[in-house]
Amino acid sequence: MSIHVLPPEVAAKIAAGEVVERPASVVKELVENAIDAGARTIRVEAREGGRRLIRVSDDGNGIPPDEVPVAFARHATSKLSCVEDLERITTLGFRGEALASIAAVSRLSLISRPDSHPAGAEIRFEGGEQVSLGPKGAPTGTTVAVENLFYNVPARLKFLKAPATEGGHIHRVVVNYALAYPELRFHLTLDQRVAFQTSGDGNLHSVLVEVMGLETARQMIEISPQAPATSPQPPAPISVSGYVGMPSLHRAQRDRLKFFVNRRWVNDRSLGAAVTQAYHTFLPVGRHPVAVINVTLDPADVDVNVHPTKSEVKFRDQRQVFSVVQKAVRSTVVSAAPVPHVGSSFGHGRAHDSVVSPEEAERWRRLTPGSGRSATQLGFEAQRTLPDDEGTSFQPAADGLPLLRVVGQIAQTYVVAEGPDGLYLVDQHAAHERVLYELMQADRVSAKVASQQLLEPVAVELTPAQAAVLEAEAATLAEIGFDVEPFGGTTFRLRAVPDILLKTDPATALADILAELAEGAVPLSRQSDERLIVTVCKRAAIKAGQTLSMQEMQDLIHKLERCSAPRTCPHGRPTMLHLSAAQLAREFGRM
């Protein structure tokens, strides 16, 4: 075949393929146009996963009747006029391709009327051919109906998934814009059922409630405002806002991590990595946080014209954006000591431990017999307490606990305690894990991990996988108090164990710990020593279902009070629930 220029209709279909990949891409482009047109309310309707019909109506500026046909010309846009404009894009669209592309691969009608015009216009296309144009009475705004998408592109049609799947993609697109634009009202119907809607009250948290449900939304904390980060030259402030999940909230997939750059949803691996890094040690291995993050920066510092669907962006200073996001999320997660308030309304999750006056603390201390130094019955670790700050200050650290008075135990699993601000329900296992973890870390830092020589060395039979972990981790195991030597094949001799494991059967404990690490599948990495310690603490901690004496509970709570991060266990789950005095009063109708 000789070289020739493709006929325009073929070229148009090829170009359309870049923009319109599936029904959800049509929804995305039409919703963007509505937002760019200053709409307050945007309705989206789809039938059969968008294959049969997609209709998007808005109450935005509308298109003057005489400009309606031009809007469908390729590269026709009202949002950009010169190359320099590309440097400072503030609209979602700018390529002038969407309407032309969608019209090329469907049967499309558009009705539009600007407020200033008494009558609107209607235009119809079939497979890119204009089939009608005329005046039409209509409310202010624009409605675009797209029917029989890809009817003339069989190759694309073949690749469409089941209506439910395509509907799911449409749903996600609308959700993303609702998150980016809380001040707009969105309304989505799929096959005539309302699938999603927002109130447009301008509050991102209201949208989170609609998207994730009240329970999940309650566990999300607002990113604390930061001083804008400024790079030396030229000044380029980057700000980060949004909500991040408390560490107790995590998912197997990354799908609940959403990023918006200048209010545009983007798919950016590096931002994902920044957030994951910010949660380091707060989340169990292999789990992903939940977060909705808005990054705002000078449009000149970000290139959105990387991809036809504009879902990828390029930052001028990628490293700086990464670091600003990572810091903002980290400081929010760290400062928002994650004590979930039982049934508390959102926004009270932070700084709820009133700083107690010295008099109050003194009074409280008289009421809490367990809070002084006491004989302990929790095992060997109890003889050594964490640095004791009693007498110097009664004020809890930013993340610290107030002094608590133990009331009792329920379900042989939770310790009920009272503090100056209400009731605390403490998970005995998680709390003890935290105590042991901090103890072990402190000992490690000072290089004096307490280890006990066994009276008789014990032979431990390991599986090859466990033996591999043992060999890989030999140095850390020694550092935290294990003394193990090879005894031929996969048999080893255990001579000493960390103090905290003495109450257990040391050989089984070692095998269990190695088995758990071996199962982790993730190859042991940089943080493997961290995981090892966490696993040892988990094995050594009091279990649920164990009855504790009053003394043991007081002892546990007393040690927890001294931890630097008492509110989560080393896996990131909460160690306690807090029901504040105010909350109690409210629940009982006292206020």
Enumerate binding residues for ligand ADP (CB under 6 A): 29, 33-34, 37, 58, 60-63, 71, 76-79, 93-100, 142
Cα 67 off chain centre by: 43
Cα 52 off chain centre by: 34
State in angstroms the smallest separation of the CB of 309 from Mg ion. 11
Closer residue to Mg ion, CB minimum distance, 42 or 212: 42
Identify what 142 binds: ligand ADP, Mg ion, none; CB under 5 to 8 Å per kind: ligand ADP
Task: Give the span between the Cα atoms of 402 and 523, in whole angstroms.
Answer: 40
- Kindly report the CA angle at 51 between 212 and 170, in degrees rounded to 5? 15
Buried b / exposed e across 135-155, counting CB within 10 Å, b at 16+?
ebebebbbbbbbbbbbebbee
Task: Give the span between the Cα atoms of 103 and 401, in whole angstroms.
Answer: 62
State in angstroms the smallest separation of the CB of 306 from ligand ADP. 15
Identify what 166 binds: ligand ADP, Mg ion, none; CB under 5 to 8 Å per kind: none
Sequence-distant (≥ 6) Cβ neighbours of residue 411 within 8 angstroms: 544
Bridge partners (DSSP) of residue 295 are 240, 261
Identify what 304 binds: ligand ADP, Mg ion, none; CB under 5 to 8 Å per kind: none
Closer residue to ligand ADP, CB minimum distance, 113 or 218: 113
Closer residue to ligand ADP, CB minimum distance, 127 or 163: 127
Measured CA to CA in angstroms, residue 194 lies from 46, 198, 274 at distances of 10, 11, 35
Note whether 250 and 261 are within 8 A (CB): no
State in angstroms the smallest separation of the CB of 561 from ligand ADP. 58
State in angstroms the smallest separation of the CB of 29 from Mg ion. 5
Identify what 104 binds: Mg ion, ligand ADP, none; CB under 5 to 8 Å per kind: none
Measured CA to CA in angstroms, residue 74 lies from 56, 65, 342 at distances of 21, 18, 56
Task: Give the span between the Cα atoms of 262 and 274, in whole angstroms.
Answer: 18
Note whether 372 and 553 are within 8 A (CB): no
Task: Give the span between the Cα atoms of 342 and 352, in whole angstroms.
Answer: 13
Closer residue to ligand ADP, CB minimum distance, 31 or 507: 31
Q: Give the contact letters, 50-89, x = binds to Mg ion (CB under 5 A), - = no.
A: ----------------------------------------
Q: How many helices (H) and strands (E) does the chain have?
A: 17, 24
Where do we find the tokens 């630097």?
A: 564
Identify what 60 binds: Mg ion, ligand ADP, none; CB under 5 to 8 Å per kind: ligand ADP
Where do we find the tokens 């000072």?
A: 446
State in angstroms the smallest separation of the CB of 304 from Mg ion. 13
Closer residue to Mg ion, CB minimum distance, 102 or 542: 102
Where do we find the tokens 């008789």?
A: 456
Q: Where are the beta strands (DSSP E) in 399-543?
A: 405-410, 414-419, 422-427, 451-461, 483-486, 491-498
Closer residue to ligand ADP, CB minimum distance, 78 or 528: 78
Which residue of the chain is nearest ligand ADP when measured via CB? Answer: 93
Size of the site for Mg ion (CB under 5 A): 3
Closer residue to ligand ADP, CB minimum distance, 140 or 239: 140
Closer residue to Mg ion, CB minimum distance, 98 or 173: 98
State in angstroms the smallest separation of the CB of 78 from ligand ADP. 3
State in angstroms the smallest separation of the CB of 14 from ligand ADP. 17
State in angstroms the smallest separation of the CB of 216 from ligand ADP. 33
Among 13, 19, 31, 33, binds Mg ion (CB under 5 A): 33
Say whether residue 93 binds Mg ion (CB under 5 A): yes
Interacting residues toward Mg ion by CB under 5 A: 33, 93, 98
